Structure 1
C-alpha cells in the first residue's frame, strides 16, 4: 500500500477519519493525502442565512489553510514525520474525490460515515454511502467514534449466491496479508446445508489458504444485523465486504438505507472493489 487518501469536510467527525488515516498510513509506511471538496454555491442557500463567500478562490484558500492546519495537527499529535499532501478541489464531493483518487493512484480511500453539523451529518452520511457503488478504489468508512487500533481480526462477508470477482477477491486477500490479520469469513444463506452452498463455501476456503481464517455459514435474511452481531462476537477490528453488482452487501447501500449506515458506530468498514 503506497498511497492512502482521506476525504474530510473539516468538521471534528470528518477530521477524526484523518487521525485514523495517518496512524494507518504510518503503520503501512504509506504516503497520505488529505482531501477537501468545497462547493461555491451552497447546495441549500437557505442554510447559509445569506452569508455567501466572497469568491471561489477565497473558499479554496480557506480550505487549503484548514487542511494545512489539520496536517500540522496530526503530525504533532502522532509524532509522524511522513509527508502529507493537502489537496483542495471545487465541485460535488463524489466525482471530485474520485478524480483525485484516480489521478494520485490512491490505493485506499478513507472517509467518515458522518460529519458534525446537522447538514454535514446528512451530507457526509449520504456521500459515504453513495460512494460505495461508485468507487473504483477500496473505500474504508470510519465511524466517528472509532479510535485507531491495530487491525488484527477482520470479518469478511461473502455472498455465496454470487461468486466473488477474482480480482476483487485477490485484493481482499492482499489487504489481509498487509494487515497481518486473521479473517473470519461470514456467509449468510437461507439454506446453509444445501450441497451446492457447501461446495461454494469449500471453494472459498481453498482460495483463502494463504490467510489464517475461519468460515461460518449462518441462516437468515437480516444481513445487516447478522453481520454486525457476528463482527461484535468475534471482536472484529474491521468489517470487509465485496460490494459486487446485485449481491446482498451492495444492497445495504444502494437501497437508500443511509440510516442503517449510521448504526455502524464502532467498527470500520472496508469496501473492496
Structure 2
C-alpha cells in the first residue's frame, strides 16, 4: 500500500529547517552587516531547474549557487541528475560548490576559453566579480593538438582583444598543454593555485550530450574547487 504524501507537512518542515539554517549562516558569517546580503528562504514542490527558472523571472536573481554532494570518487563517475539538469537548463550563471570546499575570498579565478569571441561577455562579468576581492583573473586555453600557425594566430588575436576590451589590470593569459580539455583543467586546478574555475556551458548534440556530457558537466564531476558555469549567450554581469 502506498500512502499519499502530505506535501503541506513536508513543505512546513523544510521551511523551518531552512529558516534555522539561514539564521546559522547570518549569525556565523563574521562580516559587517553592510557587507552581508539579505537571506530569505523559499520552499516549493517541483523540479529544481523549473523552480530556479521561476525565481529568475519573478525576483532579481543574477547568480544561482548549488552544492555538489557525494564523495569525490563517486562523483567522478556519476553526476547527479539535478546538477546535470541545472547546468543544461540554467538561464543565469551557476556556481557549483563541492562539499569539501571551505569559504575564503577568491584570490585567483580561472576562466577556460576555446578562443571564441562570444567568451568576452563572460570574461567581462568575471572581471567585475574578481575586482570585488582584488583577485587575479587567469584566462586559460587548453591546447590539445599542438600549436600550428593558425592556432598561434588565433591566440594572438584573442590576447590582443583581451588587452583592449577588458578593463582590468589583474588579468592574465596562459596556455595549458594536455591531451584533452578536462585533463588540462584538472592539472590547472591542482597546480595553478586557483580558487575558482569558470567556463561556458556549450551543449553538444543530443546523443553526445546524453552519453558524455559537455565540458562543464564533466568538470562538475571532477572538480574539487568551486565551478562557475555561464550559460551560452549570457550577457548580464555577475555582481
Please state if 1:167 is matched with 2:121: yes
**How many angstroms apart in 1 are the aligned matches of 2:218 and 2:150?**
34
Distance 1:134 1:65, change over 3 A: same
CA distance 1:264–1:123, change in 2 (3 Å): closer
Q: Aligned-pair RMSD on alpha carbons? A: 3.3
Q: Which has the higher contact order (CA 8 A, sep 6+)?
A: 2
Taking a change above 3 Å as real, the CA distance of residues 157 and 75 of structure 1, as seen in their structure-2 partners, is same
- Aligned counterparts of 2:52 and 2:201: Cα–Cα separation in 1: 19
How many residues get paired?
215
Q: Which runs of 5+ in 2 are unaligned?
A: 72-76, 232-239
Partner of 1:127: 82
1:99 to 48, 54, 68: 54
Segments of 5+ residues of structure 1 without an aligned counterpart are: 1-48, 117-121
Structure 1 residue 101, shift from structure 2 partner: 2.8
From 70, 74, 81, the equivalent of 2:25 is 74
- Counterpart CA distance in 1 for 2:134 and 2:157 is 22
Equivalent of 2:186, from 213, 221, 228?
Answer: 228
Q: Distance in 2 between matches of 1:101 and 1:199?
A: 40
Q: Check 1:253–1:106 CA distance in 2 against 1; reply closer, same or farther (3 A cut).
A: farther
Distance in structure 2 (CA, Å) of the matches to 1:52 and 1:256: 41
Give the match's secondary structure for 2:43. Answer: strand
Distance, in Å, in 1 between the alignment partners of 2:161 and 2:216 is 32
The residue number in structure 2 matching 1:39 is none
SS at match of 1:89: coil
C-alpha spacing 1:93/1:181, structure 2 compared with 1 (3 Å):
same
After the TM superposition, which segments of 4 or more aligned residues of structure 1 sit over 4 Å from their partners?
49-52, 79-82, 250-253, 255-260
Q: Tell me the TM-score normalised to structure 2 length.
A: 0.76
Please state how far the C-alpha of 1:240 moved relative to its aligned partner: 1.0
Q: Is the 8 A contact 1:126 1:258 kept in 2?
A: no
Task: Specify the SS of the correspondent of 2:172.
Answer: strand
1:180 corresponds to: 134
